[in-house]
Amino acid sequence: MGFGVAPTQFAASPENWFRIPVICQHLDDYDETNAVSPEAQVAWIRDNLGRIDELFSDANAARSCNALIGLEEELATK
């Protein structure tokens, strides 16, 4: 099971959907390559929902998407 998140205003763009491990790495500098159980991901989402909302708020969505896309590119190279 996997979880993905996208900002509402950019929902039509597939490149702006991000996996929770990438968001976690962006927010907490947690290495995305570490395996995390679905239960732990749900707990992290629950504990960080406000931070995720703020990441994709109207004021931050474009900047956050650019940063997350850059992080995904770094991870692909890694």
Question: Would you kindly state where each structural domain of the chain is located, as residue ranges?
Answer: 15-77
pLDDT tens-digit map of 2-56 = 778 888 776 558 888 999 999 999 999 887 677 788 888 899 999 999 999 999 9
Buried-exposed string 22-37: b where 16+ CB fall within 10 A, e elsewhere: bbbbbeeeeebeeeee
pLDDT at res. 11? 56
Q: How far apart are CA 27 and CA 46, in angstroms?
A: 14
Residue 61 bridge partners (DSSP)? none
Determine the longest span between alpha carbons in the chain, in angstroms. Answer: 32
